[in-house]
Amino acid sequence: MVDSKQHVLIIDDEPLNRDLLRRVLQSTYELSEAGDASEAIDILEGEEGTGIQLILCDHLMPGKTGAELAVIVRARWPSIAFMLITGYDGDEEVLQAEASGIVDKVLSKPWRSKELRAAIARGLEA
């Protein structure tokens, strides 16, 4: 039988955060992981990225921020849902990205597993 799990790309420069997200999501979703925007773009451009349906991305990372990556993703892969995770709810760049529709949802740290799963399920339905 072919695995029909929906595919989520986790992007975070902190390995511990990626590990926590993986533990919460791995039973429900097929997962790919990247440590920064550049690595994420490589995944999206490669064979592994062909089925990605949702991106779950930390905002503050070295190089490009999550909001900057969202602009690139929207331009090149507009059908992929994009959720930003941030510990800085008042960050102007985050607020602007959400208000403009560049990101589908902003999730605050610390997140709760139940709320994270629900947000992802809604994002994949949209």
CATH of the domain at 59: 3.40.50.2300
Q: Which residue type does 14 have?
A: E
Q: What is the pLDDT of residue 3?
A: 57
Tally of domains in the chain: 1
pLDDT of residue 1: 39
| Average confidence (pLDDT) per 10 residues, the chain, 126 residues | 79 96 94 97 86 95 95 95 86 86 90 89 87
Residue with tokens 């331009």: 75
How many helices (H) and strands (E) the chain has is answered by 5, 5
- What is the rounded distance in angstroms from the CA atom of residue 28 to the CA atom of residue 45? 24
Q: Which domain, by its residues, includes 75?
A: 7-125
99 belongs to a structural domain: yes
**Domain assignment present for 2:** no
pLDDT of residue 24: 94
